[in-house]
Structure 1
């Protein structure tokens, strides 16, 4: 039995759509597409994108794969006196801010995730949602 996966061709189409949206917003971004096992399928950094965005895009994509949810959905507001959930000691790192979105097939099965970094978390999330739609 084969498992559903994301192809390089599909990952490239998603990144192309994301780059178009980033340009519309006046941003230079980094895009990381992982498969459902959190393995890198495609990675592109637009000219002029921040070097720090390389790690951030990967972490956002990894977060979306691991939780099968948009990375910003896991970002709960801080409450004084309450413990803070953090993942700074996980292998590979996770990031609980906008810009990571799961990629699913028509039946809702997880194929992978896209991570975007280059703007605010809200801009990154908008780019990612546009790219996979």
Structure 2
């Protein structure tokens, strides 16, 4: 009896797992090949060590989740291709990207911008005067 119950629970669990995988296999927001290439550039240059996506990553360079909503593609191409010296790196700049890499990064950021974040990450509160909470 115990073995039969174990087998029944195991088969049911596996079936539930298989159905979950099947229905979640297709992403709601499929990535284009260009966006995948941009993600590879993001990973190759370890951008996450300084920059944040969806509130995860380094905090030195700021959150880039909605950068394409805030900046034009021409501005981003210029920034990625010929990066200025930015604080706190007074003597070094970001790695210069080729135009192809810059376009791929923009495609990746455009993809990231389409994902609903529902207000995440939360914006930091500004403390006023004697507010020490």
- Scaled by the length of structure 2, the TM-score of the pair is 0.28
- Scaled by the length of structure 1, the TM-score of the pair is 0.28
| Structure with bigger gyration radius | 2
Higher strand share: 1
